[in-house]
């Protein structure tokens, strides 16, 4: 048996898979996000441990015999979070999360420093880890001075599991301290961020062992003391392992809290000026590029709070097929934007509202606005030389036929929908554990899921959506000018 643990922004998911790669059971536990000030986003690391303990307890209650045969654990997690711990391995403050934008000034300073983009392969975004530590040095100097290690969220969970300070290449690539091409910490980047190498965790590839389960936990869980915990990966790299996106030309769209358009790469070919992310993959000698928008289903969740209707009910009120772009336009910049704008200050907006606008019009506009923003990411990826001929759609938003057909038409790409099942980051993390324990080739384990159906672009509507997309592109500078 193999266990995948995916530490997300709103909750932790644990999936138990057998040696045939089939998910036997999953369990979830949620935790809160704190927003003390505008642009701030924090979480209590101890809540992650409690959530993990809850999911393990649930799996043991329902699948105790299978769980007892556990051989390996893989970790996936939200990227970029700054979990600062002292010499006693305890958190010095809440973790500053990926969608926290307080360090925008520090990010701009780092981004302008010599060799930072060249070595990291990326623009330094405010959500990355390095600028957060510079913010702490200025605003919480006692915390900065006491920081013995900086761990990414899933790696704090690893510390509880193994007692080791370790990260993997894919997650470390989002810190702005890693030489992404060399897959190693960079002294130049650490110096630019005023950090020391001894404050960094050790690094392993995603399918390599990072240590064994602590004896006390092994005894408590009723499993072998030889259970291996592999490096794992950042959430998107692990998701790519879950859907078999490993080779040049493979790609997927994730309609989750944030929106991602990801393409696997056989070589490191960064283009930071496009605001495309270029990171290490969770498997050796492989990289990936992705465009990221900060609000995808989060836009629908926000509208749900405003209207008092659940996201599922709002989505169900729309037809299965599109009939042309909406009159109302939504810019989904609720928390700023990454690709292609690198703008932490921009905020969302509706335009085209009139006295007859109804809730369904707003729902449709949100889905279209997210789709327009993902088209921005596709154009950015194309500018780097990436060529996608089709994509797989995953995440909660992919359950909406209206949304998927909107995306297919705007991207002018066939969008594959997998057969019913869980193909997310928890599965990818478990697959990494399977590779690490068995020594199998990643391509033998990390196969694509069967496709249930393919949504083709609507050729009769592509011209109308193209016109609407150009209007969307022009909206950003216009809104920016008046905010």
Query: Cβ contacts of residue 244 below 8 Å, gap of 6+?
Result: 250, 446, 447, 448, 449
> Which DSSP string corresponds to 250-261?
-EEEEESSSEEE
Q: 261 with 410: CB under 8 angstroms?
A: no
Q: 238 with 394: CB under 8 angstroms?
A: no
Computed on alpha carbons and rounded to an integer, the radius of gyration of the chain in Å comes to 21
Does the annotation mark 444 as catalytic?
no
What are 451's strand-pairing partners?
A: 418
CA distance 171 to 376: 24
Q: 321 with 278: CB under 8 angstroms?
A: no
Q: Rounded to the nearest 5°, which phi and psi values hold at 277?
A: -80, 135
CA distance 60 to 210: 24
Calculate the CA 327 to chain-centre distance.
Answer: 31
CA distance 136 to 127: 14
Query: Cβ contacts of residue 123 below 8 Å, gap of 6+?
Result: 111, 117, 272, 273, 275, 342
CA distance 315 to 332: 17
What are 13's strand-pairing partners?
A: 6, 28
Per-residue buried b or exposed e for 294-326, using 16+ beta carbons within 10 Å of the residue's own CB: bbbbbbbbbbbeeeeeebeebbeebeeebeebb
Q: How far is CA 400 from each of CA 150, 199, 219, 358, 397, rounded to the nearest angstrom? A: 39, 44, 44, 19, 6
Q: Which of 235, 298, 376, 416 is the catalytic position?
A: 235
Of 178, 170, 215, residue with least CA distance to 74: 170
For residue 340, say if its preceding peptide bond is cis, omega within 30 degrees of 0.
yes
Active-site residue set: 235
């Amino acid at each position: 048996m193999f266990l995948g643990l995916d530490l997300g922004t709103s909750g932790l998911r644990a999936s138990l898979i057998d040696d045939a790669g089939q998910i036997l059971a999953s369990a979830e536990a949620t935790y809160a996000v704190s927003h003390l000030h505008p642009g701030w986003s924090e979480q209590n690391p101890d809540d992650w441990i409690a959530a993990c303990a809850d999911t393990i307890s649930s799996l043991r209650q329902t699948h105790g015999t299978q769980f007892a045969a556990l051989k390996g654990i893989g970790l996936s997690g939200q990227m970029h979070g700054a979990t600062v711990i002292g010499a006693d391995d305890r958190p010095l403050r809440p973790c500053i999360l990926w969608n926290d934008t307080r360090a925008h000034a520090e990010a701009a300073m780092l981004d302008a420093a010599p060799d930072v983009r060249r070595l990291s392969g990326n623009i330094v975004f405010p959500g990355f880890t390095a600028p957060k530590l510079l913010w702490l040095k200025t605003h919480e100097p006692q915390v900065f001075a006491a920081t013995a290690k900086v761990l990414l969220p899933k790696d704090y969970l690893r510390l509880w599991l193994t007692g080791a300070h370790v990260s993997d290449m894919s997650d470390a690539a989002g810190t702005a301290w890693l030489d992404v091409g060399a897959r190693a910490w960079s002294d130049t980047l650490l110096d630019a961020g005023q950090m020391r190498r001894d404050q960094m965790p050790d690094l392993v590839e995603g399918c390599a062992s990072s240590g064994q389960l602590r004896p006390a936990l092994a005894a408590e869980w009723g499993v072998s003391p030889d259970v291996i915990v592999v490096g794992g990966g950042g959430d998107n790299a692990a998701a790519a392992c879950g859907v078999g996106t490993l080779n040049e030309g493979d790609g997927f769209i994730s309609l989750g809290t944030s929106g991602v358009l990801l393409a696997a790469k056989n070589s490191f070919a960064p283009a930071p000026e496009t605001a495309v992310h270029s990171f290490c993959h969770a498997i050796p000698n492989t990289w990936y590029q992705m465009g990221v928008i900060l609000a995808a289903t989060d836009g629908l969740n926000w509208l749900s709070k405003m209207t008092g209707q659940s996201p599922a009910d709002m989505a169900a009120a729309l037809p299965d097929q599109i009939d042309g772009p909406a009159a109302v336009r939504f810019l989904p910049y609720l928390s700023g934007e990454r690709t292609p704008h690198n703008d932490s200050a921009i905020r969302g907006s509706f335009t085209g509202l009139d006295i007859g606008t109804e809730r369904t019009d707003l729902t449709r506009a949100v889905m279209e606005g997210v789709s327009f923003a993902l088209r921005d990411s596709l154009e950015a990826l194309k500018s780097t030389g990436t060529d996608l001929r089709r994509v797989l759609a995953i995440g909660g938003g992919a359950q909406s036929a209206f949304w998927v057909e909107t995306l297919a038409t705007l991207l002018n790409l066939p969008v594959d929908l997998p057969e019913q099942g869980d193909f997310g980051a928890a599965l990818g993390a478990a697959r990494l554990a399977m590779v690490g324990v068995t020594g199998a080739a990643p391509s033998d384990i990390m196969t694509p899921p069967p496709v249930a159906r393919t949504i083709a672009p609507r050729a009769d509507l592509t011209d109308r959506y193209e016109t609407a997309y150009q209007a969307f592109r022009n909206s950003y500078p216009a809104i920016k000018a008046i905010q």
